[in-house]
A and B are shown apart, each in its own frame.
Chain A
Amino acid sequence: MATAPKDFRFGNFVGSLIQLIFWILIIVTLVGLPLIFIILFYVPLPPVNGEVLTPYLFFSMMVDPTRTIPIINFMIHTDMFRVAVFPGFSYAALLAAATIFIERKFLAKMQLRIGPLYAGKIEGILQLIADGLKLISKEIIVPSGADKPIFWTAPVAFVVTAAAVVSLIPAAPGWVVADLDVGIIAVFAFLGFFPLIALLFSWASNSKYPFIGGMRALHQMIAFEIPFILSALPVVILAGSLNLTDMANAQYSYWFVFFLPISAFVFYISSLAELERIPFDLPEAESEIVAGWLTETSGMIYGLIQLGTYVKLYALAGLFVILFLGGWAGPQIFPEEIMPGYTGEKIYNATTVNAVFWFTLKTLGMIMLILLPRGINPRIRIDILLHTGWYKLIVLAFINIFVALLLVYGGVLGPGGLLST
């Protein structure tokens, strides 16, 4: 597989490596380290063992593990960590990357194929990185007559909106970027931005097929917004709160999917439509309108929109888990302590780790369920889609609202109910 160029000299190779290391060292010492120090001077550091931490002390303490733990403990409880790493963007992006990998391999197995195989040693695991590099290296072509400011802003706005939805999804008790009391309303408010972005982008492209795609996106998402919200309503009634963390905690013993199966089904179908996945991928219907509202995207603009789409997929799968599958509830499988007898400050928290484990597992299962229809269904037609959204799903969504009301007034669930925790 690996082939060397004809004029390959080992000496040249070593020389180039040394040159690379030289330049890395130069850049790190001249730019990197000063930058880190400048940042550390502005970030307030915690007092450790009574002494105020300075950047110099910080670097010297990094070498000593016992003194590092308080620093790490301080770091992972900052807002920055939440936004950038754990329930925030890195976690979502990692799950999105996992989704793309699972989608490729899972669909390939359904279709009697192998899927990506060559990028990376194991089962083409680096295919996504290869694709990303390809997209980055491609030229971005802006159509003549395009509305340039909107054309450049829309993909960024798409990712930002997807990230905003992610910021509202709790991944463990207390682990959420923005713990709003109106969490579920905020989620739907942010989801309402997506058709607007699609329409703006398609209008800004100044092209016919994107315009048709944008109009389709608008119709589709408005038709499915109402059953989407209505299907979440019984959960609000049963949990007695709009806060997503409270909703997850309310179903610690009994998952709401057992009481509200129809709502869960409507929510699932509506999220498929919201995500523009087959059978509802009308805005991107390839054989009809080329690539729909994405026709004029190229290079990293396309890459950003894809990233946004998969982050959104994680957000909606996570939302389903929070609303219907009990959130992070699950049997405790992690031990209380990993190092018995250790008395110092701890990073490890068995409850949180357990919650993260169950939440991630359920979300991945939900993602698989969202990916599944792509392998077995053709695309639906726009009039059937609108009919389904406006007539069937809204009626179905109402059924479980009455069931939920019955359960609350019957004293079975809800605040002070028989089965509620």
Chain B
Amino acid sequence: MENLDQKFNETIKMGLEIVKETEEDRLMTLSVGPQHPGSGHFRFTIKVDGDYVVYCDPDPGYVHRGEEKMCEYRNFIQNIPHLERPVIHDSTNITYSYSLAVEELTNIQVPLRGQYIRALASELNRQVYTLYWLGIYGIFLGHSTMFMWPVGDRELFIDLLEALTGARVTHAFNIPGGVRNDMPEGFKERCLRQVAYFEKRLDEYEDIFYNNPLFRQRTEGVGILTKEDAIKLGVTGSVLRASGIPFDVRKAEPYDIYNEIDFKVQYMKTGDSFARSMVPFLDMRESCQIIRQLLDKMPQSGEVRAKLQPNPKGPAGESYKRVESGRGALGYYIVSDGTPKPYRVKLSVGSFRNILALPYLLIGSKLADMPSIYWSLNYWPVEADR
């Protein structure tokens, strides 16, 4: 904590030094959000001196819904649908770690096929989220084609998930004890076909977006988060991996069947906006491989869901489980007092951890770099507010 405070004070001091050199009234205070087209349900106040940002104060909390408190009034199963709401584009992953934690509390063993389907849905949903994120990153930099293409290709995975779960966005598919239902017929072939097509599209994304000299000029060397700062600030997910730390929950503490899957943790060493935008893209490539392996290694038949009692409950105790979501480690800390309802649920999300880095990266950078730094932090305002 002291380190963090020190770091924050240093950064503020750096900003104020820039201020001292000039006159105070040269500064312009801008409120970016919540009605700014480049902010989302989120606000940060910045002060600019000419084109340079000298002060930044993130102000989340516009969409706080009290998810954690709501959990205390519902039993373990009833909690599933409303827990998806903070991040509906990644709704399978946000219920994944919840299910894992509840299974540990209530001693439920998930059937093997259920574990595979769960991982499959999780990977597909991560693609959906990352494509949406990438589309918004494109339009934030003024690249309208990069908005239309990923959002259009996102339909591939939404269709697959619709076939698998029955819903397009909010699936409520993961439940304690497995998944809600089995794969439909012919799903494997369809999935392989669409993933193969999607990999071709990824090459085209690389051509039009990542290899574009203008995009590289705008993002390379912008908002550098060093390895040490990344650890101090506690960022997770793609932001952490972009700073040169190959940390992925799927690899570091494998849950379900992820220890049987062979994949690499993609990371980059530069820690700038370009690396932070590239790592999710590399993750998408890797995810396609994971989907193939999951479909191959999956048992051909079997139960997908353990038999549960009505109102499952376990002994009093606590459990902490986390999974790798589209934005990084997503963990649940659940305390049970032996009743069917949780005593306390704490939701730890990647978004909130990543936004802590915003002031450090923004102060001293140019105003024009604001969207590229802000959105490269892989931040989902609704999830951070919970």
B window 73-106: CB within 8 A of A: none
Per-residue A-contact encoding for B32-61, CB less than 8 Å = 1, 0 else: 000011100000000000010000000000
A287 at the interface (CB under 8 A from B): yes
Task: Pick from A278, A379, A380, A384 the residue with the most CB of B within 10 Å.
Answer: A379
B window 357-380: CB within 8 A of A: 366-371
Q: Could you tell me the distance between the alpha carbons of A379 and B147 in the complex, rounded to whole angstroms?
A: 13
Query: Which residues does chain A contribute within 8 Å of B144, judged by CB atoms?
Result: 107, 111, 278, 374-375
Q: Could you tell me the distance between the alpha carbons of A207 and B142 in the complex, rounded to whole angstroms?
A: 23
B208 at the interface (CB under 8 A from A): yes
Q: Which of B28, B146, B212, B371 contacts A287 (CB 8 A)?
A: B371
In the complex, what's the smallest C-beta–C-beta distance from A277 to chain B, in angstroms?
Answer: 11
Query: Which residues does chain A contribute within 8 Å of B370, judged by CB atoms?
Result: 288
A389 at the interface (CB under 8 A from B): no
Per-residue B-contact encoding for A251-291, CB less than 8 Å = 1, 0 else: 00000000000000000000000000011011001111110
Query: Which residues does chain A contribute within 8 Å of B369, judged by CB atoms?
Result: 381
Asked if residues A378 and B148 are in contact (CB atoms below 8 Å), the reply is no
Query: Which residues does chain B contribute within 8 Å of A380, judged by CB atoms?
Result: 214, 217-218
In the complex, what's the smallest C-beta–C-beta distance from A306 to chain B, in angstroms?
Answer: 17
A110 at the interface (CB under 8 A from B): yes
Q: Could you tell me the distance between the alpha carbons of A377 and B370 in the complex, rounded to whole angstroms?
A: 18
Q: Which of B140, B149, B366 contacts A381 (CB 8 A)?
A: B366
B338 at the interface (CB under 8 A from A): no
Closest to A291 in B: B37
B180 at the interface (CB under 8 A from A): no
Query: Which residues does chain B contribute within 8 Å of A209, judged by CB atoms?
Result: 30
Q: Could you tell me the distance between the alpha carbons of A286 and B371 in the complex, rounded to whole angstroms?
A: 10
Asked if residues B142 and A381 are in contact (CB atoms below 8 Å), the reply is no
Closest to B213 in A: A377
Query: Which residues does chain B contribute within 8 Å of A289, judged by CB atoms?
Result: 367
Q: Could you tell me the distance between the alpha carbons of A378 and B222 in the complex, rounded to whole angstroms?
A: 16
Knowing A208-B30, A279-B214, A384-B217 touch, does A287 contact B142 (C-beta < 8 A)? yes
Asked if residues B214 and A208 are in contact (CB atoms below 8 Å), the reply is no
Closest to B207 in A: A376
A57 at the interface (CB under 8 A from B): no
Closest to A382 in B: B368
B19 at the interface (CB under 8 A from A): no
B259 at the interface (CB under 8 A from A): no
B152 at the interface (CB under 8 A from A): yes
A window 379-397: CB within 8 A of B: 379-384
B143 at the interface (CB under 8 A from A): yes
Query: Which residues does chain A contribute within 8 Å of B142, judged by CB atoms?
Result: 278-279, 281, 285-287, 377-379
In the complex, what's the smallest C-beta–C-beta distance from A160 to chain B, in angstroms?
Answer: 29
Asked if residues B36 and A378 are in contact (CB atoms below 8 Å), the reply is no
Interface size class of B (residues with CB under 8 A): 20 to 34
In the complex, what's the smallest C-beta–C-beta distance from A389 to chain B, in angstroms?
Answer: 14
A window 360-410: CB within 8 A of B: 374-384
Query: Which residues does chain B contribute within 8 Å of A107, judged by CB atoms?
Result: 144
Q: Could you tell me the distance between the alpha carbons of A110 and B152 in the complex, rounded to whole angstroms?
A: 13
Q: Could you tell me the distance between the alpha carbons of A279 and B146 in the complex, rounded to whole angstroms?
A: 14
Per-residue B-contact encoding for A69-113, CB less than 8 Å = 1, 0 else: 000000000000000000000000000000000000001001111
Query: Which residues does chain A contribute within 8 Å of B371, judged by CB atoms?
Result: 287-288
Q: Could you tell me the distance between the alpha carbons of A287 and B366 in the complex, rounded to whole angstroms?
A: 14
Q: Could you tell me the distance between the alpha carbons of A281 and B38 in the complex, rounded to whole angstroms?
A: 16
Asked if residues B218 and A286 are in contact (CB atoms below 8 Å), the reply is no
Per-residue A-contact encoding for B203-235, CB less than 8 Å = 1, 0 else: 000001100101101100000000000000000
B107 at the interface (CB under 8 A from A): no
A212 at the interface (CB under 8 A from B): yes
Query: Which residues does chain B contribute within 8 Å of A112, judged by CB atoms?
Result: 148-149, 152
Q: Could you tell me the distance between the alpha carbons of A375 and B208 in the complex, rounded to whole angstroms?
A: 10
Q: Could you tell me the distance between the alpha carbons of A374 and B214 in the complex, rounded to whole angstroms?
A: 12
Q: Could you tell me the distance between the alpha carbons of A86 and B214 in the complex, rounded to whole angstroms?
A: 40
In the complex, what's the smallest C-beta–C-beta distance from B133 to chain A, in angstroms?
Answer: 14
Query: Which residues does chain B contribute within 8 Å of A383, judged by CB atoms?
Result: 51, 366, 368
In the complex, what's the smallest C-beta–C-beta distance from B153 to chain A, in angstroms?
Answer: 9
Q: Could you tell me the distance between the alpha carbons of A289 and B139 in the complex, rounded to whole angstroms?
A: 14
Q: Which of A111, A281, A288, A374 contacts B367 (CB 8 A)?
A: A288
Query: Which residues does chain A contribute within 8 Å of B145, judged by CB atoms?
Result: 110-111, 375-376
Besides A289-B367, A380-B217, 4 more A-B contacts (Cβ < 8 Å) are: A111-B144, A290-B37, A378-B142, A378-B146
Interface pairs (20), CB distance under 8 Å: A107-B144, A110-B145, A111-B149, A113-B152, A212-B367, A282-B368, A285-B142, A287-B139, A287-B142, A287-B371, A376-B145, A377-B143, A378-B138, A378-B141, A378-B142, A378-B218, A379-B214, A381-B368, A381-B369, A382-B368
**What is the interface of chain B, defined by CB distance below 8 A to chain A?**
28, 30, 36-38, 51, 138-146, 148-149, 152, 208-209, 212, 214-215, 217-218, 366-371
